[in-house]
Amino acid sequence: MILVNLRETSLLILCSILICNFSVVRSDKYNHACGRDNSVNYTSNSLYKRNLDTAQANLISAADTNSSGFYTTSVGNGLDQVNALVYCRDDVQPDICRSCVKDSMNELRELCPSTKEADIWYDECVLRYSNASIFNNVETWPTVLISVQRNASDMDQFNKNLRELLDKLKGEATQQKFATGSASGPDFTTIYGLMQCSPDLSSTQCTRCLDGLMGNIQLCCSGKIGGRIINPSCLLRFTTNDLFYNETVADAPPPQPQPPPTSQSAPVPDDNNTRTIIIVVVVIVGIVVMLLVLVCIFKRKQKKRPATETLLNDNVEDIGSAESLQYDFGTIEVATNYFSESNKLGQGGFGAVYKGTLQNGEEIAVKRLSRGSNQGQQEFINEVLLVAKLQHRNLVRLLGFCFEGTEELLIYEFVPNASLDHFIFDSVKRSCLDWEIRYKIIGGIARGILYLHEDSRLRIIHRDLKASNVLLDAEMNPKIADFGMARLFNLDETQGITNRIVGTYGYMAPEYAMYGQFSVKSDVFSFGVLVLEILSGQKNHSFQNGENVEDLASFAWKNWREGTPANVIDPILRNSSGSIHEMIRCIHIALLCVQENVADRPTMASVVLMLNSFSHTLAVPSEPAFFMPSRIGQEVSSATDNTNSRGSNRSVNSKVNSVKYSINEASITDPYPR
């Protein structure tokens, strides 16, 4: 029944996109669309696919050799012709443009694996391909509207200022296909704007396209302090106090009122002397007034937001974000019904989580931190700003933060369907997860981790990946929670050795559990365990095989070696319509991830590749860490042989051993004072 409902919802969403010709999305990082018409598909061994491969290579090599920032290619003829184009923002550096071209192409093909037509928008570039002719045309489907939730202090004034700015930018963009600029908004704010047209459009096409976008402002963004409206052919974006483009490249410096040259030339005739004096006086008065205004602005900010004040000095870009991410404590109290028990969603490793509903109806999840005082507030804010920038559809989005006295709250988007463990370990709900859904979940988790590891600017190692940290949205897409916690809790991310273990035994790689050595490969290990759990529907520790209690990886390995991998698969799946071949391939990938030798484990990038491409041959897995040859109580495996090499780790080590022999989920030692 649940599934039927899901299908209906997605159908509804699809319909509304098709009928209304636009969709409202709130993700900031990127958007994509897999073509208007789902029936225009290609298959994996078609000519179209080969042409697309060539087109991809062409674009990437064009970006490598040419720094113009706009690349097109056409490969093949007739129905199988691939037309592709990509354009970067004029103000991004060539190397960033290059990597955007590469990433966007890879990501789009992953997101839209079989549609002939697809578009993707990144902050830095836009990529499109299609079998239809896409050059020199204005394409307005889909138009995507994105807005920041916050209202401007004086919405009418803001709308007026914004309109003026956008009109001005449109004039410039028509000529250059790109324009940026700023204008003053209400209450001493600055509005920054950007407009861009696909460089192949003519001036009139560009104007028409931008007019179309501006016509939508009322729909999404009226009075909002930030927003974006995009379609495949053009885009516009604005923010308040957040300079998001590179001013030095994009803009000639804003024209300053220059004192007329006469004031500098030697004063000769008497007549001109009085004029010079007047000008000098005017200039001086102007400077004094400007200083006064600056002092006022500074005072205001100081009064309003002591927490973000020091940001003023060193990081102009973040002022806007810090303000727009900070929530009022009273608002959150009301939203969560004063942190009532009935609103409590659960207790995570870093504090309790409550559900809340803001006045505008938006649902949020509030994490009430038990952080101790090992980090200054300012440092904490800085980290929140960084982590909030990590936006991916497989990550739970951090919306903001809130302080009041000793209270520290993190505000997240609310994800409706609880966490994965509520489904896979529940004998009834488990049957809702057919193979198609489980496979989608596995793929989504992999992409989310890949983003954390490689694609985001921060390179984050999750360190506590497990079923209860994977949330499911209304369409059962997985969203990883609790990432970036090491940063927020001031555990050094760049250092590879820590004496504070964050994580859950059973999911932790041996080198991390025992020696505190973490790397992206320790996340890969946890991912492998998670995949085995999703496949088998059994918890790693309480895994039961007849009379034996052993860990899941050992069980999978043993069956793998004996040629009976199907034994690992959840009986519900074994008898379903799902592809056994795919399931066994997933077991294979999981076994590669839990290998004892860190270097043998694949990176998340290759995991994603293996999951996507069946032609990719897989390596033969070696023995997993913690492998137990047969029954409980046997020799400790090789992974723990070095027990005494680091005396201080002995207590951790003995815990690891006990995990192997205990069927209860061992929880971690609490590294933080509560």
Ligand X SMILES: *[C@@H]1O[C@H](CO)[C@@H](O)[C@H](O)[C@H]1NC(C)=O
Catalytic residues: 464
Q: Which of 99, 137, 246, 542 binds ligand X (CB under 6 A)?
A: 246
What is the dihedral angle through the alpha carbons of 348, 354, 360, 361, rounded to the nearest 10 degrees?
Answer: 90
**Cα–Cα distance measured from residue 251 to residue 378, given in angstroms and rounded to the nearest whole number:** 32
**Cα–Cα distance measured from residue 223 to residue 33, given in angstroms and rounded to the nearest whole number:** 27
Q: 542-548 long-range CB contacts below 8 Å, 24 or more apart?
A: 542/663, 542/664, 542/665, 544/663, 548/630, 548/631, 548/632
If binding is defined by CB under 6 A, does position 132 make contact with ligand X? yes
DSSP state letter for 267: P
Residue number, 304 or 650, with CB nearest to ligand X: 304
Write down the least CB distance from residue 91 to ligand X, Å. 7
For the chain, first and last CA: distance in Å? 42
If binding is defined by CB under 6 A, does position 316 make contact with ligand X? no
Residues 370, 376, 378, 379, CA torsion sign: negative
For ligand X, which stretch binds (CB under 6 A), given 169-177, 246-254, 275-283, 494-502?
Answer: 246-254
For ligand X, which stretch binds (CB under 6 A), given 34-42, 273-281, 425-433, 475-483?
Answer: 34-42
Residue number, 116 or 447, with CB nearest to ligand X: 116
Write down the least CB distance from residue 111 to ligand X, Å. 9
What is the secondary structure of 509-558 as a DSSP string? -HHHHHH-B--HHHHHHHHHHHHHHHHH-S-STT-EETTEE--HHHHHHH
Return the amino acid letter for 185: G
Work out the angle between the directed axes of helices 316-325 and 377-388 (0-180°, nearest 10): 90
Work out the angle between the directed axes of helices 580-593 and 552-561 (0-180°, nearest 10): 120
* CA proximity to 438, closest of 523, 532, 559: 532
Write down the least CB distance from residue 68 to ligand X, Å. 4
Question: What burial class does residue 263 get, using C-beta atoms within 10 Å of its C-beta: 0-12 exposed, 13-18 middle, 19+ buried?
Answer: middle
Which residue is associated with the tokens 């290609």? 42
Q: Which of 32, 89, 116, 463 binds ligand X (CB under 6 A)?
A: 116
DSSP state letter for 306: G
Q: Which of 23, 41, 370, 576 binds ligand X (CB under 6 A)?
A: 41
Binding mask of the shown chain, residues 263 to 292, with x at each position contacting ligand X by CB under 6 A: ------------------------------
Binding mask of the shown chain, residues 206 to 235, with x at each position contacting ligand X by CB under 6 A: -----------------x------------
For ligand X, which stretch binds (CB under 6 A), given 16-24, 39-47, 333-341, 625-633?
Answer: 39-47
For ligand X, which stretch binds (CB under 6 A), given 113-121, 226-234, 439-447, 642-650?
Answer: 113-121
56-95 residues in contact with ligand X (CB under 6 A) are: 66, 68, 79, 93
Q: Which of 31, 56, 83, 131 binds ligand X (CB under 6 A)?
A: 131
Pairing mode, if any, of strands 82-88 and 70-75? antiparallel
Residue number, 135 or 298, with CB nearest to ligand X: 135
Q: Which of 218, 248, 427, 615 binds ligand X (CB under 6 A)?
A: 248
If binding is defined by CB under 6 A, does position 46 make contact with ligand X? no
Residue 367 annotated in ligand binding? yes
If binding is defined by CB under 6 A, does position 249 make contact with ligand X? yes
- # residues contacting ligand X (CB under 6 A): 20
Residue number, 294 or 316, with CB nearest to ligand X: 316
Pairing mode, if any, of strands 351-357 and 344-348? antiparallel
Write down the least CB distance from residue 552 to ligand X, Å. 32
325-364 residues in contact with ligand X (CB under 6 A) are: 360
For ligand X, which stretch binds (CB under 6 A), given 111-119, 233-241, 345-353, 464-472?
Answer: 111-119
Q: Is the peptide bond before 602 cis (omega within 30 degrees of 0)?
A: no
State both tokens at 484.
């970036």
Write down the least CB distance from residue 427 to ligand X, Å. 31
Q: Which of 58, 114, 545, 576 binds ligand X (CB under 6 A)?
A: 114
State both tokens at 526.
């946890």
Write down the least CB distance from residue 69 to ligand X, Å. 9
Write down the least CB distance from residue 557 to ligand X, Å. 34
For ligand X, which stretch binds (CB under 6 A), given 138-146, 244-252, 291-299, 377-385?
Answer: 244-252
R_g of the chain computed on alpha carbons: 28
Q: Which of 6, 17, 25, 40 binds ligand X (CB under 6 A)?
A: 40
Which residues, 6+ apart, have CB-to-CB distance to 439 below 8 Å?
578, 582, 586
How many of the other CB atoms lie within 10 Å of CB of 216?
A: 18
For ligand X, which stretch binds (CB under 6 A), given 33-41, 281-289, 341-349, 459-467?
Answer: 33-41
Provide the residue count of the chain. Answer: 674
Q: Which of 46, 58, 137, 149 binds ligand X (CB under 6 A)?
A: 149
* CA proximity to 533, closest of 593, 447, 596: 593
**Cα–Cα distance measured from residue 356 to residue 398, given in angstroms and rounded to the nearest whole number:** 14
Write down the least CB distance from residue 149 to ligand X, Å. 6
511-540 residues in contact with ligand X (CB under 6 A) are: none
Tally of helices (H runs) and strands (E runs) in the chain: 22, 20
Binding mask of the shown chain, residues 432 to 451, with x at each position contacting ligand X by CB under 6 A: --------------------
Write down the least CB distance from residue 587 to ligand X, Å. 25
Q: Which of 9, 10, 21, 151 binds ligand X (CB under 6 A)?
A: 151
Which residues contact ligand X (rule: CB under 6 A)? Answer: 38-41, 66, 68, 79, 93, 114-116, 131-132, 149, 151, 223, 246, 248-249, 360
Q: Residues annotated as binding site for ATP?
A: 367
Q: Residues annotated as binding site?
A: 367
